[in-house]
């Protein structure tokens, strides 16, 4: 089983690149839509499509991360592991409870990209998205650096 670790690690890292890399493109998409308001609906659907890649990456991160813990015999209570898992759950909750509804509202208003309602929805989606990205970067830091944190 230990022979699987390098392959799981490779899939894990590739998934992180795909997930976080996809998320990093959202502000670029948004800036392009702001320059060309007529393309707002298309742009938002592009973000939705890219999110499928990101979400698949996040699912694979969880699966391969758990597999590496089990195979490698790393305790779930290891500070950087536990902190990362807690943050992962928090990110999922923020995404499901706040980001997705905000994004849906933004898409519903996409035909009026210069309206105050759309601008407010766009601002809310962007703020929540930035929070999610920052938390994911923190998780990536914990998983890479593996700081002691406590104990």
**Given this model, what pLDDT does residue 83 score?**
97
Structural domain of 16: 2-145
Percent of the chain at pLDDT > 90 equals 95
For residue 10, what are the CA distances in angstroms to 72, 73, 92, 127? 15, 18, 23, 32
Any domain includes 150? no
Whether pLDDT at 151 is above 80? no
Whether pLDDT at 1 is above 90? no
Q: Tell me the per-residue pLDDT of 17-37, one tens digit each, with 9 for 90 and over.
A: 999 999 999 999 999 999 999
Q: Tell me the per-residue pLDDT of 61-105, one tens digit each, with 9 for 90 and over.
A: 999 999 999 999 999 999 999 999 999 999 999 999 999 999 999
139 band by pLDDT with thresholds 50, 70 and 90: very high
pTM above 0.85, yes or no: yes
Q: Per the structure block, which two tokens stand in for 129? A: 């998205």
Any domain includes 52? yes
| 141/57 Cα distance (integer angstroms) | 17
Total tally of structural domains belonging to the chain: 1
Beta strands in 26-125 (DSSP E): none
Q: Determine the length of the chain.
A: 151
Average per-residue pLDDT for the chain: 95
Whether pLDDT at 126 is above 80? yes
Whether pLDDT at 44 is above 90? yes
**Given this model, what pLDDT does residue 41 score?**
95
Any domain includes 13? yes
Any domain includes 151? no
Burial class from Cβ neighbours inside 10 Å (0-12, 13-18, 19+) for residue 115 reads exposed
pLDDT, average across residues 111-117? 95
Any domain includes 114? yes
């Amino acid at each position: 089983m230990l022979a699987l670790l390098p392959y799981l690690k490779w899939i894990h890292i590739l998934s992180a690149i795909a997930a976080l890399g996809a998320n990093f493109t959202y502000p670029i998409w948004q800036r392009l839509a702001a320059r060309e308001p007529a393309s707002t609906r298309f742009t938002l659907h592009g973000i939705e499509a890219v999110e499928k890649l990101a979400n698949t990456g996040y699912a694979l991160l969880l699966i391969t991360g758990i597999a590496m813990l089990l195979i490698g015999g790393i305790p779930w209570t290891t500070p950087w592991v536990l902190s990362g898992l807690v943050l992962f759950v928090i990110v999922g909750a923020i995404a499901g409870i706040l980001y997705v509804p905000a994004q849906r509202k933004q898409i519903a208003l996409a035909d009026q990209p210069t309206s105050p309602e759309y601008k407010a929805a766009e601002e809310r989606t962007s703020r929540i998205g930035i929070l999610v990205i920052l938390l994911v970067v923190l998780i990536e830091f914990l998983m890479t650096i593996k700081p002691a944190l406590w104990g």
